[in-house]
Amino acid sequence: MRDAYDAVIIGAGHNGLTLGAYLARSGLEVVVLERRHEEGGGLATEELTLPGFLHNVHANYHTFVDMAPPVKDLEVRTHGVTYIRPEVQMASVFDDETALVVYNDLDKTCESISRFSAEDADTFRRLYLEAHGYVDLLLGTLMYQPPMSVKELTKALASFGIEDRSEFLGVKLRRETINWFLDKHFTNPKVKAHLAFHAAICGYVNDLPGLAIGFPLLIGKIDNWHLCVGGSHRLAHGLWRDLARHGGVMISDAEVSSIAIDSGRAVGVTLSDGTQISARKLVASTVDVEQTFLEMLGETDIDADLRGKVKNDIRHQKWSLFSVHLALAELPAYKAASFEPDVDRAWVVNLGYGSPEELNVDFEAIRRGRLPGLAKPNAAVNSLYDPTDAPPGKYTGLLRQFAPYSLNGRGPAAWDEIGRWYASQCIQAWSNFAPNINEKSILDWVPYSPADIPSKIRNMVDGDWMMGEVSLDNMLDRRPLPELGQYRTPIKGLYLAGSTQHPHGFITFAPAYNALQVIAEDLNLDKWWNVI
Amino acid sequence: MPDIYTDEWYEAVKDAINESAGKLADLPEGSFIVAIEISADGLSPYVDTLTGLRRFVVKIERGTCSWYKEVFSKDEEYDMAPGGVNYRFIGPARAFDEIAGGLLDPVDAALKGVIRVRGDMRFLMRHAENVKVLLEAYTRLVQTNWPLGKPPYLDKTPNEVANA
């Protein structure tokens, strides 16, 4: 390790690595510092159950890999990173042993929806086609650019007369819930449940006002879920390879304890072992805002007002995820396969939410720190499409249940007491729909509770895997605070480039890509990646 | 009336844009260069299916068109815009023909993904009113002659159009 670099990046998650790789390609000397023993952050793949079973501990679904500029710019696919877009993307199985299936083929999806409602199938087709028309345009506008304000966006949408041109987009969506959108356009509760469920696993809760604005875009990429072959960590490794090939360095077990400030400018960092590293041009933090401002910076480095806001006003998701990782000897055989055989080939399956109201009730309970009445997890079997993630003839499984971080007023520690019991409830819920998932077919299983999330990935404060609430008040240039919404900070040379920033968590690459635009402006870098 | 995509036609478009400049408000500083890529689609007779593509480069400076040029390669585009272009509009010939003919709204075309737009969309969004004026000039204010037939070509098959 040298004692000085041009750019010092804190955190080697996909955003830190992405920013590092771009800057290294721009000719800067870059170091990416990672607290954990390996790069990747949420791109963690581990043998949590038995040897040979590769479990994605956090990020499992990659929905932007064919849209995100860094994948092309950084030649990610040449670095041993391969993606599969499963043919049967997602399904919902219902208590009456019916199933709705989303394929990577619109006609097939509509055919499945039409078994519940022909009218909804037609609506879905129109919505999907409309959204598909502008998904590329809007992602380019809203996601892979530093953010505009809601006001600016609303004004532009009005100027272009979007409401008159679109059946589904409209300025008023910024006040409405996804439930409102579903009730306005769809009729069948199961169809609505599936669409609401899909939004929820994208981080968009169906009963929060304002989130309807993002719903058409979610539908535009509803069949664009990709699986990283060999585990999500392969992507982290690919990004690291690009960084390394261009002279950048990633150092693991390198916990940053403080950011050095000189005359109002970030000039380096100190590691927890006392090592000092100078930053000639910039320091970029991709970890949570609280760590950056309350731990790594001294009290006098920023004004008390901003410090107070970081302490009190950062908004985190009020729900988290409880996971169970399983090693399986059999693929799930759903009862609903007699209604819809393809459900057995679905990558991700919603187990039992049959109406948006059921989701409402559960999210209401979760926000009060309570478990949902009945476990209704979703089940993913990556081995269906990526047999390399388990030994031959065996399969990995992942159950995820919406859950509170702090339980029953007793804090996250309560998960230590009930984690295994609750995992068994989730497994039983799966078994209810796929009876062959039982003691015989389950070789091993491991719970991974909301309390485990920040234990492993500190950035995910309070089990917040989105690193900031997905809500209208915490979107665009207001995320994570209006003062910090454009990737710059009040301290010169200190940038924020992690999922705390616009747009949000998930494997989007966007916070890093957008921070890069700002850094390039400030450092007058040649934007080689911006060939239009 | 100039024929579509001829120098005279682009001159008319330039004049129309420049005459509209007075309607623009809050003009941004600086200039930007727009590249337009019109690809053969077997429907429009104005883009040769063998060469496959027509490229135009246009410079807009404080709301007025400084110059335009048809270029025949990426290298030539680079010569015209060595610093790179700011926006690129890409789409099939029929769509561009229909826009020029006032049959297809360009905002609709972008929203439907018929025409893809590359570049800093925030700038376009922030200057939406000005963009509308420029588009109006392009789509409505130029009288166009269509020597090989007029879009939407509904009465011709792709082969007939190609052989016209």
A1-25, pLDDT tens digit by residue?
Answer: 899 999 999 999 999 999 999 999 9
Measure the CA–CA gap between A124 and A332, rounded to whole angstroms: 28
Q: Which CATH superfamily is domain B7-148 in?
A: SCP2 sterol-binding domain (3.30.1050.10)
**Statement to judge: residues A477 and A451 lie in one domain:** no
* Pair A329, A196 in one domain: yes
Show residues of chain B in contact with A159, CB under 8 Å.
128-129, 132
A104 touches A85 (CB < 8 A):
yes
Chain A residue closest in CA terms to B132: A160
Whether residue A155 lies within 8 A of chain B, CB to CB, comes out as yes
What CATH number should be reported for the domain holding residue A196?
A: 3.90.660
What is the C-alpha separation between A525 and A435, in angstroms, rounded? 58
**Model confidence band, residue B159 (pLDDT cutoffs 50, 70, 90):** low
Q: What is the CATH number of the domain that holds A11?
A: 3.50.50.60
Instruction: Tell whether B83 lies on the interface with A, counting CB pairs under 8 A.
Output: no
Residue A193 lies in a domain: yes
Best A137, A528, A531 residue to mutate vs chain B (most B CBs within 10 Å): A137
φ, ψ of residue A463 to 5 degrees: the values are 70, 15
- Residues A66, A124, single domain; the answer is no
Categorize the per-residue pLDDT at B163 as very low, low, confident or very high, splitting at 50, 70 and 90: low
Residue in A137, A146, A160 nearest the CB of B117 = A137
Pairwise CA distance, residues A73 & A468, whole Å: 27
Query: Tell me, what's the ipTM?
Result: 0.87
Region B135-145: mean pLDDT is: 86
Beta strands in A252-367 (DSSP E): 256-262, 265-271, 276-285, 320-328, 348-351
Nearest to A170 by CA among A153, A187, A195: A153
Domain end point (choices A405, A427, A456):
A456
Task: Tokens for B79, please give them.
Answer: 């010569």
Same domain (yes/no): A187, A322: yes
Q: What is the model's pLDDT at position B153?
A: 87
Residue A417 makes CB contacts below 8 A (sequence gap 6+) with: none
The predicted structure's pLDDT at residue B131: 87
Q: Check: pTM over 0.90? Answer yes or no.
A: yes
Q: Are residues A339 and A221 in the same domain?
A: yes
- Which candidate from A137, A140, A155 shows the least CB-CB separation from B111? A137
Q: A134 at the B interface (CB within 8 A)?
A: yes
Q: What is the token pair recorded at A116?
A: 């519940």
A355 is a domain residue: yes
Is A423 part of a structural domain of the chain? yes
CA distances in angstroms from A173 to A154, A220, A435, listed in the order given: 10, 16, 41
Put simply, whether B108 touches A (Cβ < 8 Å) is yes
Q: Is there a single domain that holds both residue A388 and residue A504? A: no
> What span, in angstroms and rounded, lies between the C-alpha atoms of A184 and B12?
47
> What is the domain partition of chain B in residue ranges?
7-148
- Residue B33 touches chain A, beta carbons under 8 Å: no
Report the chain B residue with the minimal C-alpha distance to residue A514: B120
Confidence of residue B157 (pLDDT cuts 50, 70, 90): low
Name the closest residue on chain B to residue A153, using Cα atoms.
B125
B117 touches chain A (CB under 8 A): yes
Q: Phi, psi at residue A56, to the nearest 5°?
A: -80, 110
State the smallest CA–CA distance between residue A515 and chain B in angstroms. Answer: 15
- List the single residue in B86, B112, B126 with the smallest CB-CB distance to A133: B112
B35–A148 CB contact, under 8 Å = no
Across residues B50-63, what is the average pLDDT?
A: 89
- Are residues A75 and A145 both part of a single domain? no
Same domain, A397 and A337: yes
Residue of A159, A166, A531 with shortest CB distance to B84: A531
The CA-based diameter of chain B, rounded to the nearest angstrom, is 48
Please report residues of B whose CB lies closer than 8 A to that of A160: 107, 128, 132
With a CB cutoff of 8 Å and minimum separation 6, the contacts of A85 are A104, A224, A225, A226, A227
Question: A212-261, pLDDT tens digit by residue?
Answer: 999 999 999 999 999 999 999 999 999 999 999 999 999 999 999 999 99
Residues in B closer than 8 angstroms to A136, CB to CB, are: 113, 116
Question: Of A456, A471, A490, which residue is a domain's last?
Answer: A456
In a domain, A532, yes or no: no
Question: What range does the domain containing A93 cover?
Answer: 86-226+317-456
- Indicate if A120 and A213 belong to the same structural domain: yes
Mean pLDDT over the full length of chain A? 96
Count the domains in chain A.
Answer: 2
Q: For residue B110, list chain A residues with Cβ-Cβ distance below 8 A.
A: 134, 137
Residues A90 and A65 in one domain: no
Q: Can you tell me whether residue B5 is helix, strand or coil? A: coil
Residue B160 pLDDT > 70: no
Q: pLDDT tens-digit profile of A132-160?
A: 999 888 888 889 999 999 888 888 888 88
What's the mean pLDDT in A453-474? 95
Report H helices in A43-187: 69-73, 106-114, 118-138, 150-159, 162-165, 178-185
Report yes or no on A528 lying in a domain: no
A137 touches B: beta carbon within 8 Å: yes
* A91 located within any domain: yes
Q: How far is A323 from chain B (nearest CA, A)?
A: 38
Residues A170 and A160 in one domain: yes
- Give B112's contacts in chain A (Cβ within 8 Å): 130, 133-134
**Confidence grade of residue B31 (pLDDT, cut at 50, 70, 90):** confident
Verify that A234 and A221 share a domain, yes or no. no
Q: Is A153 on the interface with B (CB under 8 A)?
A: yes
- Residues A372-386, mean pLDDT to the nearest whole number: 97
The minimal CB distance from A532 to the residues B84, B108, B110 is found for B84
CA atoms of A202 and A137, how far apart (whole Å) = 20
For A134, the closest of B113, B126, B129 (CB atoms) is B113
Beta strands in A193-339 (DSSP E): 227-228, 249-251, 256-262, 265-271, 276-285, 320-328
Rounded CA-CA distance A282/A280 in Å is: 6
| Rg of chain B over all Cα atoms, to the nearest angstrom | 15
Q: Name residues whose C-beta falls within 8 Å of residue A276's C-beta, 6 or more positions apart in sequence.
A: A3, A260, A268, A269, A270
Contacts of A165 in chain B (CB under 8 A): 105, 107-108, 111
Nearest chain A Cα to B116, which residue?
Answer: A137
CA distance B125 to chain A (A): 5
* B111/A532 touch (CB, cutoff 8 Å), yes or no: no
